[in-house]
Structure 1
């Protein structure tokens, strides 16, 4: 069992729920740890006690949300034998999952800490190569840009999905 999973109703559970909402609304840089503690009706000491830092709290949340999205993308990709179809299905499913969990802004951000990006790794493992070009670099950037556009209301979900489909034409 993952050691960070909190017991429902505990301070740790409350902090994760409030932090998830705040990071999804405002992004890592804009979340103030003091304001986060206030919204959770706790002290900053509680955050540091449970997570050690804002970055560690963010990493816990981001890792969990990324895994939820990757699980869905893997399922979608597994339905296809052609690499292009699998990749397209994974990208579209990833958009749906990010919207469903309301984590478009969270997943559109670059990581504020040094760590291998699991979604980028997923795309790299699934990606097709065309004349030795690393297509996955363009796809992950495009996917994150679409999520950012959705989170800022510059794109609708359907427009984002149409952009993915257009990339594969």
Structure 2
């Protein structure tokens, strides 16, 4: 069992539930530990006791959300042969899941410490056989699309079309 998984009914579980909701709706700098602890009906000391810091709490949540996404990305990618097809399927077909789970802000933002995330590593691993490091363009574009979805500046259809457009351009050599 993963060490972060809390026992139901514990303070750690209550903190994680509240923190997940906070990080779904607010960027890292905008989440206040005092407010988070108050919403969880405990002290800030409990947050530091269980997670050590705000960044550790954030990283725990982000890694779990990324793993949920990667599990789905792997399923979509497994249906295709080429690296380009795998990346396209992984990044496009799972946009509705990220949106419906309200993970767009969390996964669309860069890690506050600049850490490479699990999604970055996974998309990078799909590049085998490509001549260019496509993740240099694809991951920032994908994150931008997620943030625009979060801000309701684009629709899901537009989001999927934008990511598919990038792959079509790549196939044509443009």
Q: TM-score range by the shorter chain?
A: over 0.9
- Give unpaired runs (5+ residues) of structure 2: 169-174
Partner of 1:141: 140
1:114 Cα offset (Å)? 5.2
Aligned length: 168
Over 3 Å counting, the alpha-carbon distance change for 1:152 and 1:114 in structure 2 is closer
1:31 and 1:158 map into 2 onto residues whose CA distance is 30
Partner of 1:167: 166
Q: Helix, strand or coil: the match of 1:168? A: helix
Partner of 1:24: 24
Partner of 1:86: 86
RMSD value over aligned CA atoms?
Answer: 1.4
Q: Helix, strand or coil: the match of 2:48? A: helix
1:46 and 1:3 map into 2 onto residues whose CA distance is 17
1:140 Cα offset (Å)? 0.4
- Give unpaired runs (5+ residues) of structure 1: none
Q: Helix, strand or coil: the match of 2:30? A: coil
Q: Helix, strand or coil: the match of 1:121? A: helix
**Stretches (4+) displaced over 2 A:** 113-116, 127-130
Partner of 2:105: 105
Higher mean C-alpha displacement, 66-75 vs 106-115: 106-115
TM-score (norm 1): 0.94
- What pairs up with 1:42-53 in 2 under 5 angstroms? 42-53=42-53
